[in-house]
Each structure stands twice: as structure tokens, then as C-alpha cells.
Amino acid sequence: MKVGIIGAGRIGKVHAKNISMFVPEVEIKTVADPFMNAETESYLKNLGVREVTKEAQDILNDKEIEAVLICSSTDTHSKYIIESARAGKHIFCEKPVDYDLDKVHEAVKAACDAGVKLQIGFCRRFDHNHRGVYDVVKSGRIGDVHMIKISSRDPEPPAIDYVKVSGGIFYDMMIHDFDMARFLAGSEVTEVHAAGSVLVDPEIGKAGDVDTAVVTLKFENGAIAVIDNSRKAVYGYDQRVEVFGSKGCVRNENDVPNTVVVSDEDRTSYENTYKIMWDRYTGAFVSEIQAFADAVLNDTETPVGGEDGLYPVLMAAAATKSLKEGRPVKIAEVE
């Protein structure tokens, strides 16, 4: 199966590397990036990528290419989804599909109409720890889901210039957790309440965003979820989920680089979790691409489809509105 990658930034390169190392059934024929340069070209060629180009169109026009990975900037996602769909190519698109709900709807519809597969890059669904929690929930071992708690904290806030164009913490950061909450609940969200503060960096507040946020979600089945986000956890990338149900509770902890425990005169201690997202979710990036390849090759459904791209954006819209208006907002209000 030959694929093309649109976008050769950080995430595009990670996917290229993972495919070349771990997904032998996929061959990267072409990588397109308007800013393609000699260094990137050399990196990609070493991975076995056959062609590089500045024109995404070269990929879309290539009959040999069966599937496209869209790793370009968010504002181009929906456009490339639509064009890829029209070109009859299966699509893996990084999250979020778009900040504009109309565009999300349009993109999802285009893929659906064209009958191509669409997978959204919510990589955390493929993380061993989060997946482990999901598997326990799915198995019925903890019974019906009553509550979900998600902590998701970054080691460092992004640059202020990025914050200004990021769409805000709910679109940029909590979007992953919205997806995770739906994934674990097995039910749709009906109402969102957001609380937020500027406690990390006043510049974030000046940019119109918050850096500390707690969002409560109510689900159709009565379950309640709570997500907390902070832009700055000094001890590292903090990613934990807990699902409480009628028959028990399942949760995970952060990964640590090793299991070493030291006791000295003062304390017993061990190493903090990872400080870099790429170290934390290494395996998840491989697994999601493997899953996409499997879905295309076996003609099965992708594990994270168009609807899964849409709902987190709805939740982010509702959270943004809730924070602004100081009241809970129903999903129906933003649809």
C-alpha cells in the first residue's frame, strides 16, 4: 500500500519514521511540503521515501497512491480531506479537523460521500495505558460507567505566538481529552461546563485564553466526566485517566522512564514521568498508523472515524462558550 504524506513538519516526520521502521506493509511514495528543504529531503530519503515535492497536488494526482496522511497546519485539514476524498484516497488526518464546525461537517461529509476511509489522529486511544483502561471498561469488569476523570497537563505552555492562533486551550489541548472521555464513556456528551483561570502566565490571559481549566461533561447515559488541564506541570507530562463504575474502578498512572526506587535518609523517591510528549506517546503513534493501514488493507472501519473528529470540536465549542458565558452549555446549542 502506497501512501503520500502532506506536511513534513514534526508530526509528518514522526509518521514517516514510524511507517518506515514499524509498518512494513506501507510504503511512503511521496511527501509534500511547501517548505520542503534539503535537510528534510535528506531525512526522508534516508527513511526510504521515494519522492519529495512542494506540491500536495502531486500526491493527490498520483494514481498509485492509495492513502494520504494529512499532517499540514490545522487550517488546511478540511481542504485536503475534501480534495483527497474527491481523488478517491483514504485519509488519515491529524486532529483537530478544523476549528470551524461547518468545515468539519463538510470534510466529514466529503469523505463519507466518496466512500473513502477517514481516520482522525487521536493517538491517545492507542496508548498502552489509556487503551488498557478502555479494554477493562469494555470488558464489563467495572460495570456501567458512572464517572470519568481525566488529568492532562503539559510540562510547558507553548509560545505565546502559538497560543494566540491555537484556538484556545479547549481546541488545542483539551480536544484530546474530549475524545478520550467519549472513547471511555461509550456515550455522547449532552452538556458542558467549563471553569478556567489564568494562573501559569498572565500573557496567556492577555491572549484571551486560560491556562488552567476544569470541564465537567454530562453524558446521555447519566455518566459525568471531569477533565482538568494545566499548561504547566513542572514535573512532566501528566496523563492519567480513571473510570469509576457500578462494579469497580479502573485507572492508570503515568509511565516512568524506569522502575528504580531510592531510599535515602530523607525520602524514598523515583523518577518523574516524561517531560516530552514524543517520549510519552511513542508507541501510540506507531499503533494508530498500523490501525489505519489495517483498516485500509482489510477494508474494515477505521477505529477513529469522521464522527470522532466532529464531536470533540463540538465539545470544544461548547466549553469555549461555557467559559465565556459562565454557564453550562448544551451540545445542541453549538451543533
The 8-class DSSP code of residue 182 comes to H
Cβ distance to its own copies smaller for residue 101 or 147: 147
CB of 222 to its own copies, least distance (A): 4
User: CA nearest 303: which of 287, 316, 283, 280?
Assistant: 287
149 CB neighbour count, 10 Å cutoff: 17
- Binding flags for its own copies, 12-41, as an x/- string (CB under 8 A): ---------x--x-----------------
- Binding flags for its own copies, 217-236, as an x/- string (CB under 8 A): -x---xxx-x-x-x-xxxxx
Binding test (CB under 8 A) with its own copies, winner from 83, 172, 255, 288:
255
Binding test (CB under 8 A) with its own copies, winner from 35, 39, 102, 258:
258
Residues of span 145-184 touching its own copies by CB under 8 A:
146-147, 149, 151, 153
Cβ distance to its own copies smaller for residue 102 or 253: 253
What number of CA atoms fall less than 13 Å from residue 252's CA on the CB side? 24
CB of 242 to its own copies, least distance (A): 8
- Give the position of cell 497546519: 73
Q: What residues form DSSP beta bridges with 192?
A: 217, 329
Q: Would you list the DSSP string of 1-33?
A: -EEEEE--SHHHHHHHHHHHHH-TT-EEEEEE-
Number of residues written out for the chain = 335
User: Is 282 among the residues that bind its own copies (CB under 8 A)?
Assistant: no
User: Is 136 among the residues that bind its own copies (CB under 8 A)?
Assistant: yes
Q: What residues form DSSP beta bridges with 327?
A: none
C-alpha cell at 223: 455518566
Region from 55-63, 68-76, 209-217, 305-313 binding its own copies, contact rule CB under 8 A: 209-217
CB of 289 to its own copies, least distance (A): 16
CB of 35 to its own copies, least distance (A): 25
Binding test (CB under 8 A) with its own copies, winner from 76, 187, 272, 290:
272
Q: How far apart are CA 175 and CA 313, in angstroms?
A: 7
User: Is 260 among the residues that bind its own copies (CB under 8 A)?
Assistant: yes
Q: How far apart are CA 139 and CA 5, in angstroms?
A: 36
Q: At what angle do helices 101-114 and 74-86 cross, to 10 degrees?
A: 20
**Phi, psi of 174, rounded to the nearest 5 degrees:** -75, -10
Binding test (CB under 8 A) with its own copies, winner from 27, 105, 195, 203:
195
Most distant pair of Cα atoms in the chain: their distance: 67
The site that binds its own copies (CB under 8 A) totals a number of residues, namely 72
CB of 212 to its own copies, least distance (A): 5
What number of CA atoms fall less than 13 Å from residue 231's CA on the CB side? 25
CB of 99 to its own copies, least distance (A): 24
Cβ distance to its own copies smaller for residue 158 or 328: 328
**Phi, psi of 36, rounded to the nearest 5 degrees:** -55, 130
**Is 121 within 8 Å of 72 (Cβ atoms)?**
no
CB of 74 to its own copies, least distance (A): 27
CB of 260 to its own copies, least distance (A): 4
Residues of span 104-133 touching its own copies by CB under 8 A:
128-129, 131-133
CB of 28 to its own copies, least distance (A): 16
Binding test (CB under 8 A) with its own copies, winner from 159, 160, 249, 332:
249
**Is 33 within 8 Å of 15 (Cβ atoms)?**
no
Residues of span 46-85 touching its own copies by CB under 8 A:
46
